Amino acid sequence: MPKRPTRKRTPEEIRREKETLYAELGSGLLTLGQATRRMRKIVGMTQTEYAEKILKIYPRVLMEIERDRGNPTLETLEKIARPFGLKVGFVAKASHLPGTEGGEG
């Protein structure tokens, strides 16, 4: 499949994309697959490039994770998180936060 030409984004646009990613991660709005795909898109790489050059995992593993079908190891999750300065952990879904419907508080 040929690569679609993309317009070069400014550092400010990339910064805003990262801020949006971090906010949505913190709110529990993204699945692991959605977040992983978003990270890859922010750096502007194909699945193969990102998997092999950045994450050092097989492209097929990345493809499955992005489809929310993978069962990644903790080591793989840490590899996905590291380029964005993230750590693997637990985040409450928005519906379970204190002060929200269904949450304690």
Residue-wise pLDDT for 27-61, tens only, equals: 888 999 999 999 999 999 999 999 999 999 999 99
Q: Say if residues 37 and 52 touch (Cβ distance below 8 Å).
A: no
Q: Which of 47, 46, 38, 45 is nearest to 20 (CA)?
A: 38
How confident is residue 105, by pLDDT bands cut at 50, 70 and 90? very low
| Pick from 86, 7, 69: nearest CA to 34 | 69
Q: What is the pLDDT of residue 101?
A: 60
Per DSSP, helices labelled H in 27-73 are 32-43, 47-49, 59-66
Whole-structure pTM value: 0.80
Gap between the Cα atoms of 53 and 99, Å rounded? 43
Model confidence over 3-19: pLDDT tens digits? 555 678 899 999 999 99
CA distances to 2, 14, 35 from 31, rounded to whole Å, are 28, 21, 6
